[in-house]
Structure 1
């Protein structure tokens, strides 16, 4: 596929974050570029791993300013999985007041 030089320049100057960036460093990048959300990409191949918002990073900055974005994306993925799992619990389990099945790791 042939891409225009303008497209290549946009991609070359895209503002992204990396999994090893901290909450504070991500907030600094967002402030510097006036962004409210940014993608987190793999540093080796540029694969999209997720995105973080300024709002969620501000909440985290008060108690985990040095947390890595990889940890945050992992927590978000786990929370999403738990929501989906809880939504798929049969109504009979709710009627019997049994806890939903948990994933074992």
Structure 2
């Protein structure tokens, strides 16, 4: 039975022999080649260790200590928020009193 992904070995094949030119020696060589490739990949991965974005940002944070960091920016934006809220409250307070002055309420019960 033959298909794209599978080829059956006939029952008459001798155990230990593979179809085609590949024998035990060739398989052993390919295993050695694969082990060599694996060791090279491991050494490359060790060389690249610490090059992810998180590692790079942590290393940069350790190397440089800028004055503009997360704490400073949170204080700046917090104070800007307080200023905006206080100016808004002041404006609406003045608007409320201007409307009361323009349209005074008439009390008839007195």
TM-score range, shorter chain: under 0.3
Relative contact order: is structure 1 or structure 2 higher (C-alpha 8 Å, sep ≥ 6)?
1
Larger Rg belongs to: 2
Q: Give 1 or 2: higher strand fraction.
A: 1
- TM-score of the superposed pair, with normalisation by structure 1: 0.26
